[in-house]
Structure 1
């Protein structure tokens, strides 16, 4: 497929006076790449990669327009002229690659995630209506403060135009301050900013007017909003449509950017970065309804991770442009590849949320489990060709070994990958068997394609011994042999009917009616196995060695999973360690009180107790005295993210 295969996606479009080369948008998203509240080299390199890779429009992440808008530690601020030099440098680089550049202007209102110094700041909103997710009680804004904040949006827009940007986007999505004024269940005011829909849209309308008054002709102004907040007491689609019609009638906006969800509730927040269980492009109908009601150019964002999906949405009139943000975190070159007829070479996002939004929530710079260069452009960049061609043997065909093989071959080495199983993928093959995790198998497809393009000699169904190694005669060996299920010692291990998660997923276990899942890792494995067994009609108890299921995984994935477990009737036992078992009971111990917890009537104990590294090949290679490098779970059992990163580094070291 080439550009001709995506005629709508690669057709130009104009937002106001802003002419764009195509319909691909990298929408605003937190990167944690700012430097003490300013845009510096790391963030510029990150966005440059996406502009160079073919994005038509790049929208820079939220920036605070007013001192009261702090919502995380060390946010980007545009409330003084100090921000202009950083944005100017970014604009020169991004626009130099042919992309448009727009900045998000932001005030969270009551949606306070953290603070700058550990103390809880005062939050402000339309009214003293608390949110559910962060348990924040805001202070109602006075009329004087409202006027000041509105003016601050205009001043911030002026700074962005002075810095050379093409426009700004008012963030009224996900229950943030403008949406709090819009929502009649949050906004209880009795003045000109509350009550009727006209009054509740006044805050947004006056912000847009202030921006227009402060900026010159040709400067694009957009509004990002949730087409449906999908939350308890959230704005619903019909209300949003009526509000959009009122706001659009003012003539101050050039486009609307449509998403779903709300930061105010756990259920709504899942849609901020929807996990893989949401259908591709599921927000498109919301965008279509708003586009038809307002007549404004519309961007739609939500699980659009392939050009085929974006082309269909635009062709069907559901949007004018598509936000493909995580798609370009995973593969910054996605636009170029699609335009050049290489769509099958795109490294497709699998919606795992682990290193993109997951890193942000943990306070780390953005990345991608499939593409460790994302967010590390300055450190990792583009590898150089090897000084001399070498014969490299990679042992293990999981994500770590596959990435190592692809990278080593890209650098010019002769590379062969040996995998003892008939199929590549390692534990990713098991992960895709869990409920709502099928798309995780995409990492296998993507890495296989990377190896094919690099010219790796792939040898599956080949167990490696010293004879195989000697026959191949490698100059260097990369070991990525993974891990095996951990079976801890516990009393009665030989008496109870005990199986592990791998046996369950591979259909190698006879599971009884009543099951207890002993989850030591508190990750997606224990949750997923419990959900799978409950779906299949088993009575399931999930004993977690932590304070909740999924404690160690990204919160949107975890929270949605906990909801499904509840709906399936899974009994969750937090703070539990496995102590012992017999023919019909499992004995647990509360990890804080050390008191016994006895679960009777258990037919099968399922172990989700983490993994132990497979090191026999490493010992063999050491014995042969060969240069060798390790990657992934054979070093220490962790996740696919670490395996791929270490595989990349190993491929660059040989």
Structure 2
């Protein structure tokens, strides 16, 4: 067991301020504010939720410094009339002992091409931009913040001016190393003139831009050495937001290892005289390890805190088993960075929705609730209902809880999802208000025997398995059986269906040394278009590295002893010889079973794969929680 009480929970001095521990909640745009950039109850409730985590530093993300904002729902720091609004936010944050920090970003320039900002901005525009930073810092000081974060990484404005990739100027702001450092130096000097040491300054940097023509760690380290006397802590990340292929290195999905930026951060820690923080897929266990070893001074994380805002408190109290794990699905990042919508979480249905559920009390009288099926939606519903005092019975036909999620987390690279499933089952089976009945077929008579007041139907779905010539020969297998090791495949495999399930199975098979091809009816450019953008980029990259190939815009016509017969748009047919065909064609609801059980009691809810908004962990958990809160 990790002893978090050693160095991770020791205070650390950041400028003139002291953080209560070495954990920092990294900045993430929540997009919960009013369209004019002012605060509201929804934003303040969210900030209260993550501030009560017990972190040493809590950072408000993506806060616009521009005099003329682009709009949206990000905080706006150029309107003095909003200072009092954000003073309420810092007051809430300070209740929980954290240092209140905020990320300063010129949103208009951040969303513009890096080359245009760094190369084509006039000297007057540069001076105006630096002035906007300084005035925003003053705004933050007056609003009660303890710190600001200057985002100079990921291709943000200071990074644009420093990077040879973007900066092609031939004046005092471009060309030589000294000139490319000038913007950042003048920016930090202007901020210090405005606020002195009253605000601690954190500077986020991309240690490496990770492109052939981008900045490497050696030159970035030299830049950090030039500015370290102007800042109080350096925050290490890597990559560029403009490059889609690099997004998985900024927001590591479950397929990637944790702590992607650690080795780079260790270089900076060794060479600098100021504290160094690192971000990049850390959890509390890894954070405790790297801080204890002296690799870095602090660790920044965000997604873990969205999944369980009380995770730090639970760890400190020795209750790590109670921490709801982040599955690194990037639903949160997809919602905010890709769609510019309000923040959410696949496993924590209340994050960003705090005002939806605050003050909700159980209706008169506790109820007897029967959950038909033990999938993730019903597990969430059971936990929520039981927490509210209802008596819950789960009827599961299989020998284990988990439903289709067991298949989804079978691959070794889905360890995060497996940890979540284990937590979900653990919290349910150990709840005093929940009784679990495994190997139980939930017939109408069995359900009536429980005399329920309410029924939750989460009976799952059945795989789509068309009949082919070789269907009964072992040549054709279902993807779920492959992932659960109930079916074997040969060394040459065709996976039919390029959804997440099919691609994950293909990756697992390829890593076993098998030749794998994926076929689908849609164009290759459309694969994953409806899924989580960052995760699909990472998964496709790993598939390419593993040698998996796609054959798109084809239809599977038959499977014979020789292999898969496909047809193309021109009606031509082709035999793809292989050992095994793995079907990953989705699922369909067992409508007859749903119909048979949906009229037993008046208060009946349908969720999970049975519902119109089923099919993903996010939808199942969100629906299960919301319906249970309505009991």
TM-score if structure 1 supplies the norm length? 0.88
Does the Cα contact within 8 Å between 1:404 and 1:648 map onto a contact in 2? Answer: yes
Residue of 214, 220, 239 corresponding to 1:261: 239
Q: CA separation of 1:576/1:10 partners in 2, compared to 1, >3 Å: closer, same or farther?
A: same
In 1, Cα distance between equivalents of 2:360 and 2:460: 25
Residue equivalent to 1:562: 540
Does the Cα contact within 8 Å between 1:488 and 1:609 map onto a contact in 2? Answer: no
What secondary structure is seen at the aligned counterpart in 1 of 2:188? Answer: helix
In 2, Cα distance between equivalents of 1:451 and 1:382: 24
Q: CA separation of 1:106/1:491 partners in 2, compared to 1, >3 Å: closer, same or farther?
A: farther
Q: CA separation of 1:459/1:565 partners in 2, compared to 1, >3 Å: closer, same or farther?
A: same
Q: CA separation of 1:601/1:217 partners in 2, compared to 1, >3 Å: closer, same or farther?
A: closer
- C-alpha displacement at 1:327, in angstroms? 0.8
Q: CA separation of 1:467/1:485 partners in 2, compared to 1, >3 Å: closer, same or farther?
A: same
Does the Cα contact within 8 Å between 1:395 and 1:419 map onto a contact in 2? Answer: yes
Residue equivalent to 2:625: 648
Residue equivalent to 2:53: 53
Q: CA RMSD in A?
A: 2.8
Write out aligned runs for 1:330-345 (5 A): 330-345=307-322
Residue of 265, 268, 273 corresponding to 1:287: 265
In 2, Cα distance between equivalents of 1:81 and 1:547: 51
In 2, Cα distance between equivalents of 1:204 and 1:99: 28
Q: Identify the range of structure 1 (309-318 vs 492-501) with the bigger mean alpha-carbon deviation.
A: 492-501
Q: Do structure 1's residue 125 and structure 2's residue 117 form an aligned pair?
A: yes
Does the Cα contact within 8 Å between 2:321 and 2:423 map onto a contact in 1? Answer: no
Residue equivalent to 2:347: 370
What secondary structure is seen at the aligned counterpart in 2 of 1:499? Answer: strand
- C-alpha displacement at 1:611, in angstroms? 0.7
Unaligned runs of 5+ in 1: 114-120, 128-139
Residue equivalent to 1:96: 95
Q: CA separation of 1:425/1:232 partners in 2, compared to 1, >3 Å: closer, same or farther?
A: farther
Q: Do structure 1's residue 389 and structure 2's residue 366 form an aligned pair?
A: yes
- C-alpha displacement at 1:405, in angstroms? 0.9
- C-alpha displacement at 1:226, in angstroms? 1.8
Residue of 276, 280, 297 corresponding to 2:275: 297
Q: Do structure 1's residue 246 and structure 2's residue 226 form an aligned pair?
A: yes
Q: CA separation of 1:216/1:539 partners in 2, compared to 1, >3 Å: closer, same or farther?
A: closer
What secondary structure is seen at the aligned counterpart in 1 of 2:355? Answer: coil
What secondary structure is seen at the aligned counterpart in 2 of 1:124? Answer: helix
In 1, Cα distance between equivalents of 2:83 and 2:474: 67
Write out aligned runs for 1:121-520 (5 A): 124-127=116-119, 140-248=120-228, 251-306=229-284, 308-381=285-358, 383-385=360-362, 387-434=364-411, 436-452=413-429, 454-455=431-432, 456-488=434-466, 497-519=475-497
Q: Do structure 1's residue 631 and structure 2's residue 630 form an aligned pair?
A: no
In 1, Cα distance between equivalents of 2:358 and 2:555: 44
Q: CA separation of 1:122/1:239 partners in 2, compared to 1, >3 Å: closer, same or farther?
A: closer
In 2, Cα distance between equivalents of 1:565 and 1:285: 25
Does the Cα contact within 8 Å between 2:565 and 2:574 map onto a contact in 1? Answer: yes
In 1, Cα distance between equivalents of 2:76 and 2:602: 53
Residue equivalent to 1:135: none
In 2, Cα distance between equivalents of 1:160 and 1:510: 60
- C-alpha displacement at 1:618, in angstroms? 3.2
In 2, Cα distance between equivalents of 1:276 and 1:336: 24
Unaligned runs of 5+ in 2: none
Does the Cα contact within 8 Å between 1:496 and 1:584 map onto a contact in 2? Answer: no
Does the Cα contact within 8 Å between 1:386 and 1:413 map onto a contact in 2? Answer: no
Residue equivalent to 1:132: none
- C-alpha displacement at 1:477, in angstroms? 1.9
What secondary structure is seen at the aligned counterpart in 1 of 2:153? Answer: coil
Does the Cα contact within 8 Å between 1:479 and 1:617 map onto a contact in 2? Answer: no
Does the Cα contact within 8 Å between 1:587 and 1:596 map onto a contact in 2? Answer: no
What secondary structure is seen at the aligned counterpart in 2 of 1:379? Answer: helix
TM-score if structure 2 supplies the norm length? 0.91
Write out aligned runs for 1:46-85 (5 A): 46-66=46-66, 75-85=74-84
Q: Identify the range of structure 1 (370-379 vs 53-62) with the bigger mean alpha-carbon deviation.
A: 53-62
Does the Cα contact within 8 Å between 2:32 and 2:73 map onto a contact in 1? Answer: no
In 1, Cα distance between equivalents of 2:359 and 2:376: 20
Give the number of aligned pairs: 626
Does the Cα contact within 8 Å between 2:65 and 2:107 map onto a contact in 1? Answer: no
In 2, Cα distance between equivalents of 1:225 and 1:34: 26
Residue equivalent to 2:584: 608
Does the Cα contact within 8 Å between 1:495 and 1:581 map onto a contact in 2? Answer: no
